Structure 1
Amino acid sequence: MSATDMLRRTFLLSTLALSSSVALGSPRPSARRPNIIFILADDMGYGDASAYGQLKIHTPNIDRLAKEGVRFTQGYAGAPVCAPSRCALMTGMHTGHCRVRDNFALSAGHVGHKNTEEIRRASLTSEDHTVAEYLRTAGYHTGLMGKWHLDGYDPDAIPNKLGFDEFRGWLTQIGSTQGYWPEKRADNDRLIDIPENANGRHGRYDTTMITEDAIDFITRNKAQQFFLYVAYDSPHSPYTAPDFGPYANHPTWADDEKTYASMIYYMDRGIGQILDTIKQSNLDGETVIFFASDNGPRSEPTAQQTRVVDFFDSNGGLTGYKRDMYEGGIRDPWVARWPGHIPAGTVSEVPVYFPDFLPTALDLAGAPTPQSDGVSLLPFLLSPQRRANGRVLYWEFYEPEFRQAVRWGKWKAVRLTRGGPLELYDVSVDPWESKDIATRHPDIVAEIEQAMAREHVASPEYPDPL
């Protein structure tokens, strides 16, 4: 058997094993289909939660999710920046196949303005189908509170037209809805004023509003099955918070370090309030909660932001930041909690990533799963010690130029230029990607080269050069 056949066989066998374990070995522990909540942080690094080794910032409620569920140590985002990562999460397609593969588009899409700069962005279209759309078809009431970031400049790409029954938050195409102190807020297909923030005032904090909207959604819909996507902005730049929170009296911390920690504090506090609402609504055993971040830390590569996230070791000692294909750019905190079903306090080393969420959610809902680039993680939620055969996890990105990455078993490969050399790392012993061993494993390099070629499909928004 050739190495290529072996790679394909390994991927197919792992996928089939997952499917059969759900169908034959993992009967539904409850007759009632669970509610599903996905909580997403923005630019929070692998090492920013104390459950993942953070020593300076305290995250008791994210830690609670981990203590009462499973913590994945090799969980990956969909991309190293916001929009494509969320596209992979919502559509179940990796960035070699999905519509939005960067925060900007090379072609097609729609042109708009960010401040005075003209920008071309991709957006989801009617040809794209989201996890919310599939769950709504399966009888779930669906809601998004917070950041969408998949509308680009297309008025038809709002959440309400792509599967969400309810939406409160901000849109890329409407500047007045953005930021931590927005003057307006999208409420389904209309805009509402936030008078407390008018004329530059800082009266209502976006993180707090997202939490309040999430709690309101749960309270109103607790009698029916629901899917809730809670998409926080924190701790994305600019660094701003109502106050320094519990970090005000650190005498050696700079103000921006206190602010960054406080942004995470307010998000973590909101997660605790959501958990309390679930418990008070008697939905603990009927609700699966996922938590992750959309990419690595440091929103922009400025000296200030680099200093702050290095101070906190936000990437957990991994190489790279946001926009990097190295582990620090795409490996993130990934936890799941479902009391009575997911064993509490467990750890899984199985590599998982955002395209897995759609098939997992539909598996939980007992709904048919369309073709996707992910696999259902339900077997690993119910039995976190289960091991998986190696499968290909794929990423591509276009800033500042076309780049690719693959995770296959213990191997991690990165290509920094189109047609350029492949870097190869054994992340089982070198998660820091400090030693490129490509020249020692030409057979593995050749296999991953073929996988990259197979997984990349050009699109109207991201065409290959002539």
Structure 2
Amino acid sequence: MSKKPNVILILTDDQGWADVNCYGSKDLHTPNMDKLAHEGVRFTQFYAAASVCSPSRASMLTGMNPHAAGLPGNASSTKGETGMPTDRFTLAEMMKQAGYATGHVGKWHLGYTPETMPNGQGFDYSYGHMGGCIDNYSHFFYWHGPNRHDLWENGKEIWADGKYFPDLMATQAEAFIDQHSMEPFFLYYAINLPHYPLQPDEKWRAYYKDLDSPRKEYAAFVSTIDERIGKLLKKLDALGLRENTVIIFQSDHGYSKEERTFGGGGSAGPFRGAKFSLFEGGIRVPAIISWKGHLPENVSRNQMALNIDWFPTIAELCGIATPSNLEGKSLVPILKNNDIPSKHQTFIWQNNGSWAVRKNDWKLIGDPWDSSDKGRLDPEKDKLFLTNMAMDSTEMTNLSAKYPEKVAELLAEYTHWPYSKLEQ
């Protein structure tokens, strides 16, 4: 068995901040996600660096904001289209250089050419779909088509007609762990659930039959995820690897209210916003890290942290020299000591026409969009929307008129950001 810790990075797709019991859900069955929190550290102010799929993933795998990572918007789901630039140094490449076996299972959505698919970005092994979403039985791209099959193993198209993709993912993830149980491994387990199409296990449909739609369809898909995570944990236990494996769990961004997901089903709890939005519900996500016997257990951390922080955190936990150009900061000091302040004073998001600056507890959104429809926005009065997370994290009241000096301060932060769309 390897003395270096193994690392499993579990990423779910379109899962809301409150859609785990340990984050406040009262109607979901998520014992395995909750077990990770019970055996680890749960973050309450953890952010994705983007409110849509590809840029969030690019930022996590490079430790940089999506613009610096070279993918500020979604990658194409069309074969032959490029994605995240290959000159970006990825987490997988770092782990591979450090002697780790590297594996990707699940969704990619970071490029659809040999160079930008997983095997070209540092992964020894890859199994899954390259586009944004697939039907979980036919494995065809869910949007345009119809003849756009999307299931690949190490860059070669494979066929598994009629087989349930969550089960295929679970099988491949467990096989990767089996194969590399005697050496250090890094597994990026990018689960494509609860992203549409909502095709949960029948047992979970029955379990949630008394909930209203679309919550019941969404809830059943979340429990489908949880059950597969449970299988993964049992595999680690059976191989005696649990205490030598760092497990990280998070969602890629907020829940979706798109038509294809029946107009909703997820929850951000008290927060405004959903997928695509830069209000909290679009970018604040559930995030947990567990390493039994090495990190604190059953504790929470309220410090602001970001998905770009996993890169240097993993490096430090594994004793690997951290690349110098990362925007992310290691969370290890915070994990071990709750008195350590956040490593980020300021962070900036940008999605299409909207942008947001978080500086300490203050947050300013320019041209805000509330995809959750929790409240109305005045096109003029709310063009700059100021809130304070310590005062009111629901973001239902615009404080810009009351604190104009804070508006000016945060606006200046955005204006001088290298990727700002405002004139300097």
TM over 0.5: yes
C-alpha distance in structure 2 between counterparts of 1:250 and 1:442, whole Å: 48
Q: Quick one: which amino acid aligns to residue 328 of structure 2? A: G
The equivalent of 1:210 in structure 2 is 169
Q: Which of 192, 206, 212 pairs up with 2:158?
A: 192
Q: 1:315-346: per-residue Cα shift (whole Å, max 9, x none)? A: 11210110000000010101110111111100
Cα pair distance change 1:89/1:72, threshold 3 Å: same
Q: Which of 233, 250, 262 pairs up with 1:275?
A: 233
* Distance apart, 1:305 and its partner CA: 2.0
Q: Which of 244, 250, 253 pairs up with 1:286?
A: 244
C-alpha distance in structure 1 between counterparts of 2:108 and 2:48, whole Å: 16
1:354-393 paired onto structure 2 within 5 Å: 354-370=307-323, 371-388=325-342, 391-393=345-347
Question: Does the 8 A contact of 2:257 with 2:275 survive in 1?
Answer: yes
Question: Does the 8 A contact of 2:255 with 2:282 survive in 1?
Answer: yes
Question: Does the 8 A contact of 2:77 with 2:109 survive in 1?
Answer: no
Question: Does the 8 A contact of 1:47 with 1:53 survive in 2?
Answer: yes
* Distance apart, 1:232 and its partner CA: 0.6
1:240 and 2:194 aligned: no
Count the aligned residue pairs. Answer: 401
C-alpha distance in structure 2 between counterparts of 1:407 and 1:414, whole Å: 9
Cα pair distance change 1:373/1:431, threshold 3 Å: same
* Distance apart, 1:143 and its partner CA: 0.6
The equivalent of 1:226 in structure 2 is 185
Segments of structure 1 that go 5 or more residues without pairing to the other structure are: 1-30, 105-110, 115-119, 198-202
Question: Does the 8 A contact of 1:97 with 1:456 survive in 2?
Answer: no
1:395 and 2:366 aligned: no
The equivalent of 1:11 in structure 2 is none
Cα pair distance change 1:263/1:389, threshold 3 Å: closer
Moved over 4 A (4+): 111-114
C-alpha distance in structure 1 between counterparts of 2:81 and 2:227, whole Å: 33
Question: Does the 8 A contact of 1:342 with 1:383 survive in 2?
Answer: no
Q: Quick one: which amino acid aligns to residue 446 of structure 1? A: A
The equivalent of 1:337 in structure 2 is 290
1:47 and 2:18 aligned: yes
1:323 and 2:273 aligned: no
Cα pair distance change 1:189/1:408, threshold 3 Å: same
Question: Does the 8 A contact of 1:343 with 1:384 survive in 2?
Answer: no
* Distance apart, 1:250 and its partner CA: 4.9
1:451 and 2:416 aligned: no
Query: CA-atom RMSD, angstroms?
Result: 2.7
Q: Quick one: which amino acid aligns to residue 229 of structure 2? A: I
Q: Which of 93, 106, 118 pairs up with 1:159?
A: 118
Q: Quick one: which amino acid aligns to residue 435 of structure 1? A: T
Could you tell which deviates more after superposition, 329-338 or 281-290?
Answer: 281-290
* Distance apart, 1:441 and its partner CA: 2.5
Question: Does the 8 A contact of 1:235 with 1:260 survive in 2?
Answer: yes
Q: Quick one: which amino acid aligns to residue 84 of structure 1? A: P
* Distance apart, 1:385 and its partner CA: 4.8
* Distance apart, 1:134 and its partner CA: 1.1
Segments of structure 2 that go 5 or more residues without pairing to the other structure are: 140-149, 369-379
Secondary structure class of the residue paired with 2:295: coil
C-alpha distance in structure 2 between counterparts of 1:136 and 1:96, whole Å: 25
* Distance apart, 1:92 and its partner CA: 0.9
Q: Quick one: which amino acid aligns to residue 147 of structure 1? A: K
Cα pair distance change 1:186/1:299, threshold 3 Å: farther
1:149 and 2:118 aligned: no
Question: Does the 8 A contact of 1:43 with 1:299 survive in 2?
Answer: no
The equivalent of 2:146 in structure 1 is none
The equivalent of 1:179 in structure 2 is 135
C-alpha distance in structure 1 between counterparts of 2:3 and 2:358, whole Å: 36
Secondary structure class of the residue paired with 1:240: coil
Q: Which of 341, 344, 365 pairs up with 1:414?
A: 365
C-alpha distance in structure 2 between counterparts of 1:232 and 1:303, whole Å: 17
TM-score (norm 2): 0.87
C-alpha distance in structure 2 between counterparts of 1:381 and 1:282, whole Å: 24
Question: Does the 8 A contact of 1:205 with 1:242 survive in 2?
Answer: no
The equivalent of 2:374 in structure 1 is none
Q: 1:282-304: per-residue Cα shift (whole Å, max 9, x none)? A: 11221111100001111525793
Structure (1/2) with the larger helix percentage = 1
Secondary structure class of the residue paired with 1:71: strand
TM-score (norm 1): 0.80
C-alpha distance in structure 2 between counterparts of 1:319 and 1:76, whole Å: 14
Q: 1:208-265: per-residue Cα shift (whole Å, max 9, x none)? A: 211111111111111111111100111001211231x245155643465433222111
